[in-house]
Amino acid sequence: MEYNTQQRVLPLPEYGRSIQNMVDYALTIEDRAERQRCANTIINIMGNMFPHLRDVPDFKHKLWDHLAIMADFKLDIDFPFEIIKKDNLITKPDMIPYPSSKIRYRHYGRTLEKLIKIASDYPEGNEKKQLIALVANHMKKSFMNWNKDVVDDRKIFDDLKDYSRGKIEVDEDTLKLMETRTILSRKTKVNNNQRRYSK
């Protein structure tokens, strides 16, 4: 018995070895008209394998591209579309640049930095106070994810003031943060639920 792992690697494994064998056979047909008919039949079979994609724009075009790829671009027929060039298959995408700006406190993250900037520029009022309370509590939770020790609320307020460049200044008298044990009990409950559903 010959296993698939012992056979050559398929260029497009989603079509299976039977379709690849048909393409290989088409390459051996000497009569051009017969080869064209064989290619059209292969395209119809390939299309029937993915009927849910029939309404996708350029579906037929993609099938002909795939046929050319499976034939290693050696199939001499009249393609109804301009097929993809072989060189385009090996082109590497452009490198995605990493963000160049540094995060002052990594345990808070970049999103929290943006939230603090929004909160510091927010117009004065009750909504601003609620936003600051949400941000400060989130800072405390983020801090506790990285530091297992009990966090002092004073540290959170100092970091908030530092982040906002002095625009947001709160203390224990004006803002009560979530209790450390409340945060820890919630984390424990979430972890237990995740363990229960992962079984």
pLDDT tens, N- to C-terminus, the chain (199 residues): 666 677 788 889 999 999 999 999 999 999 999 999 999 999 999 999 988 888 888 899 999 999 999 999 999 999 999 988 888 777 777 888 876 667 777 777 788 888 888 888 888 888 988 988 888 888 888 888 777 666 788 888 888 888 888 888 887 777 888 777 776 676 666 555 555 555 5
Q: What is the pLDDT of residue 89?
A: 78
Quote the pLDDT of residue 188: 62
CB-based contacts of 183, cutoff 8 Å, min separation 6: 140, 141, 144
CA distances from 123 to 116, 129, 173 (A): 13, 10, 22
Residue pair 156/143 in contact by the 8 Å Cβ criterion: yes
Residue 199: predicted pLDDT: 53
78: left (phi over 0), alpha (psi -120 to 50) or beta: beta
In whole angstroms, what is the distance from residue 131 CA to residue 187 CA? 22
CA distance 63 to 60: 5
Q: What is the pTM of this model?
A: 0.48
pLDDT of residue 91: 73
pLDDT at 195: 57
Nearest-CA neighbor of 177 among 121, 117, 134, 116?
Answer: 134
What tokens were used for 192? 């237990």
CB 122 within 8 A of CB 128: yes
CB 86 within 8 A of CB 73: yes
Cβ(169)–Cβ(129) below 8 Å: no
Q: For residue 142, which of 165, 111, 114, 163 has the smallest C-alpha distance?
A: 111
- Whether the CA torsion 178, 182, 184, 187 is positive or negative: it is negative
Spell out the domain ranges in the chain. 6-89, 110-184
Residue 43, judged by CB atoms within 10 A of its CB (0-12, 13-18, 19+), counts as: middle
